[in-house]
Amino acid sequence: MSDRRVVFAIPGDLDTPSGGYAYARRMFDELPAQGWTVSHLPLGPGFPSASEPVVHDAYRALATVPPGAVALVDGLALGVLPEAGRFLGERSPLVALVHHPLALESGVPAGRANELRQSERAALAGAARVVATSRTTAATLVSEYGVPAERLAVAVPGTDPAPFAAGSDSPTAHLLSVGSLVPRKGHDVLLSALAECRHERWQLTIVGDDTRDAATAAALRALARAHGLENRVTFTGAVDSSRLEALYAGADLFVLASRHEGFGMAGTEAVARGLAVVSTTAGAIPESLPADAACLVAPDDVPALRDVLTSLLSDRQRLRALSGHARAASARLARWSHTASALGGALELALERR
C-alpha cells in the first residue's frame, strides 16, 4: 500500500482560513494513515478568477504529475481548468474534489455563472472520479453537471472531539458567527435580523477573513453602523485557532445566515462544542446539522430569522435545551479519519480504472 501516490493540486495559499483549505490540510495529515503518499502541488493565486498566465502555469504544473500518481485537484481551480484531464492524460488519473460548484457562489453575474458552469462541467467530464463533500452537492453534480452517479463519492468533512462550550454565564447572550466576509455567508441578513431584535440582550462576534472581499467587509461594517449596532457587533477578521477556541467556549449560540453551503463546516464545529445553531436551509446545511440542535430558516428571509432569534433570546430555557441536543449529537459527527477513508476509497477506484 505504501506505493500509492497522490498529488494534491491546490490553488492559492494552503494556510488560508476557510473550510475548504482546512479540509485540504487535514487530508495531508490523514491520508498517509490510509496508505497514501501525499505531495502538494501549488496551482497559483486568484482562482477561480485567475489570470491567463496563472491558468497557463497551472496546466503546466499538472503536466508534471508523475506517471502512476493520482492527481487530486481542488474544485476551486479545477472548475476553470476544463482541459485538466487532457494535460494529465492516461498516465495519471484525475480525481476532482468539489466543495460546491463555482457557479453557485453568491454575487456572481449570470453571464459569468454560465461560463463557470460550462467550464466546470467540461473539467468534471475528464475526471476518473469525482468526490463531493456532501450528498447535496453530489446530487447537484449529477443533475446539473452530467456527472454519472457511479463516478461519484461523498467524503463529508470531519470534526475533532472538542470541549463543550461553557457559555458566557451572562444575562446578555453571546452570539458567534464564523465565515469569511463574502456575500454567500449572509452576514448582512444576520445584521438586519438582529437590528429588529435590539430589545433583547445580545452581543455578536463575527469571525472571518475580511481581506478576501474588501468591499463586502466594508459594507458589513457600514451596515452595522447604519443599524446602530456598532457597540453590539464585533468583527474580528481571521483569528488563530486558540482565539477561535476561546470564542467558541464563550458563546451561547452559533448563527450563520448563509445563502449557500456545500457542507457547512462551521456549523458542525459548533455542534461539536455543544452549541445550538441558527442557520438556513441553503445547500447542504440541513444535511450537515442535527435537526434537534438547529433552527433553520430560508436564506435571505430576514423576518423569519428575526423571529427565531427573538424566540431563543427571550427563552433561554429553550436555548439550553437545543444546546443539550447538540451535546448529545456531537458524538455522532463524522471524524476526519472517516473523511480520509472515503476519499482514499475514491482514489483507489481511480487507480483501478487506470
Question: How would residue 91 be classed by pLDDT, with cut points 50, 70 and 90?
Answer: confident
Question: Cell numbers of 215, please?
Answer: 468591499
Please give the average per-residue pLDDT across 68-77, as a whole number: 96
Inform me whether the pLDDT recorded for 1 exceeds 80: no
The reply to whether omega before 303 is within 30° of 0 (cis) is no
Which residues, listed in sequence order, are joined to residue 255 by a DSSP beta bridge? 278
Architecture per CATH, domain 173-330, reads as 3-Layer(aba) Sandwich (3.40)
Cα dihedral 56/58/60/65 (nearest 10): -170
Alpha-carbon span 79 to 124, nearest angstrom: 8
103, 120 Cβ separation under 8 angstroms:
yes
Inform me whether the pLDDT recorded for 244 exceeds 50: yes
Closest CA to 152 of 111, 95, 100: 95
**pLDDT tens for each residue of 122-178:** 999 999 999 999 999 999 999 999 999 999 999 999 999 999 999 999 999 999 999
Range(s) within the chain of domains with CATH label 3.40.50.2000: 4-158+335-353, 173-330
**pLDDT tens for each residue of 37-52:** 999 999 999 999 999 9
Mean pLDDT rounded to a whole number for the chain: 95
Inform me whether the pLDDT recorded for 282 exceeds 50: yes
Inform me whether the pLDDT recorded for 2 exceeds 60: no
**pLDDT tens for each residue of 309-336:** 999 999 999 999 999 999 999 999 999 9
Please give the average per-residue pLDDT across 238-267, as a whole number: 96
Please give the average per-residue pLDDT across 10-32, as a whole number: 95
Closest CA to 291 of 319, 261, 322: 322
- CATH topology (fold) of 4-158+335-353: Rossmann fold (3.40.50)
Question: How would residue 354 be classed by pLDDT, with cut points 50, 70 and 90?
Answer: low
Kindly write down the DSSP assignment for every residue of 135-156, as one continuous string: HHHHHHHHHHH---GGGEEE--
Question: What pLDDT is recorded for position 89?
Answer: 82
Alpha-carbon span 92 to 82, nearest angstrom: 16
Inform me whether the pLDDT recorded for 353 exceeds 80: no
Question: What pLDDT is recorded for position 90?
Answer: 81
Alpha-carbon span 245 to 165, nearest angstrom: 9
